[in-house]
Amino acid sequence: MTLFPSSTQEIPTVGDVPRHIAIIMDGNGRWAKKRFMPRVAGHKRGVETVREIIKACVQRGVSYLTLFAFSSENWRRPQEEVSFLMQLFLRALEDEVVKLHENRIRFRVIGDLSRFDPQIVALIKRSEALTAGNSALTLTIAANYGGRWDILQAMERMLAANPDKRGSFTEADLAHHLALNYGPEPDLFIRTGGEQRISNFLLWQLAYSEFYFTDTLWPEFDAAALDQAIASYQQRERRFGRTSEQLQADGMPARPEDQARSSSAASENA
Ligand code: IPE
Ligand code: IPE
Ligand code: MG
């Protein structure tokens, strides 16, 4: 079974700081183009943002950070850009994993690794093993990841694990085989770069995540921008299918704007 309850099976406890943030890091190419630089310069600059955001998440007490680095559809890009991204990933792994370990960060990769260079796969496995016992933050890089790939591979693994069980699977049976089965569902989903779409990211796990879209391009996204996203998250009322009145009856605080509205209504009535 998964360690964490599913948002559709039971109502999760919600804290002020999102326990899990998932980010589509978009806009590197446009950032570079604006500066008359090649697209790949934007990817290089984007790695610096990754460092800053990891640090900020540790400082703010976020437990899981999942970053979409390369989608199953990104192979459709020009071959030189794909090779550059692979090289950048390899170099970042070589340079950063020891630092991640020193900062007690657990490192994981989700995605179909079968298309990756064996050298990268070996390094990923070593890095995951080295950092497996760390608990300051679980950093997951989604590489050659697609939400549909994930659901399909989970189905295959679930059926292989239960060859005789037919027709009576539960959500939990499937969730147990999803690539991100070691973490809770994202509380907060952020996409930089202005597009408002999921682009085949965590289709299953985003069922009840709060969505935050910003026009800021990924290379310009920083700790202050992350704080704005978290502040927006803190304004949301996560109902998980219930009514607002039910939440308040359970002792959940009303959202600040609702409080303001009801106190101004009270003063109007006075
Ligand atoms: C996101 O930036 C990085 C990857 C998809 C690898 P893009 O490269 O998609 O940048 P834009 O969207 O073209 O600006
Ligand atoms: C999504 O960005 C994938 C990553 C950030 C890795 P894309 O730039 O590939 O998404 P689309 O093509 O605009 O939807
Ligand atoms: Mg893009």
- List 71's β-bridge partners, or say none: 145
The pLDDT tens digits for 37-96 are 999 999 999 999 999 999 999 999 999 999 999 999 999 999 999 999 999 999 999 999
Percent pLDDT > 90 in the chain is 86
Same domain, 231 and 253: no
Ion ligand 3: residues, Cβ under 5 Å? 26
Same domain, 191 and 265: no
Same domain, 232 and 255: no
Is residue 227 part of the annotated active site? The answer reads: no
Task: Identify the CATH number of the domain in which residue 186 sits.
Answer: 3.40.1180.10
Q: Determine which one of 28, 74, 144, 215 is catalytic.
A: 74
- pLDDT at position 270: 45
Is 244 in contact with 238 (CB distance < 8 Å)?
no
The pLDDT tens digits for 138-151 are 999 999 999 999 99
Ligand 1 mean position, distance from CA 28 (Å): 5
Asked if the structure places residue 135 within a domain, the reply is: yes
- CA-nearest of 72, 73, 85 to 29 is 85
Distance separating alpha carbons of residues 37 and 204, to the nearest angstrom:
37
Residue 195 CA: which ligand 2 atom is closest? 13
Is residue 117 part of the annotated active site? The answer reads: no
- List 212's β-bridge partners, or say none: 190
Residue 74 CA: which ligand 2 atom is closest? 9
Check pocket membership of 85 for ligand 1, CB cut-off 6 A.
yes
Element (DSSP H or E) covering residue 118: helix 118-131
Distance separating alpha carbons of residues 241 and 143, to the nearest angstrom:
32
Cα distances (Å, whole numbers) of residue 31 to 34, 56, 73, 205, 231: 5, 22, 21, 29, 25
Same domain, 136 and 225: yes
Phi, psi of 222 (to 5 degrees): -140, -175
Rounded to the nearest integer, the mean pLDDT of the chain is 93
Angle between helices 39-60 and 79-102 (to 10 degrees): 30
| Structural domain that includes position 219 | 20-236
Same domain, 118 and 87: yes
Same domain, 154 and 263: no
For residue 33, the ligand closest to its alpha carbon is 1
Q: For residue 239, what are the contacts with CB-CB under 8 A and spacing of at least 6?
A: 246, 247
Asked if the structure places residue 99 within a domain, the reply is: yes
Is 201 in contact with 24 (CB distance < 8 Å)?
yes
> In the structure, what pLDDT confidence band is assigned to residue 5 with cuts at 50, 70 and 90?
confident
Asked if the structure places residue 5 within a domain, the reply is: no
Same domain, 222 and 89: yes
C-alpha count within 13 angstroms, C-beta hemisphere, residue 145: 25
The pLDDT tens digits for 194-215 are 999 999 999 999 999 999 999 9
Same domain, 223 and 257: no
Same domain, 71 and 172: yes
Q: Determine which one of 26, 150, 173, 187 is catalytic.
A: 26
Same domain, 204 and 258: no
Ligand 1 mean position, distance from CA 218 (Å): 9
Check pocket membership of 148 for ligand 2, CB cut-off 6 A.
no
Same domain, 231 and 145: yes
Check pocket membership of 193 for ligand 1, CB cut-off 6 A.
yes
Query: Which amino acid residue places its CA nearest to atom 13 of ligand 1?
Result: 29
Asked if the structure places residue 196 within a domain, the reply is: yes
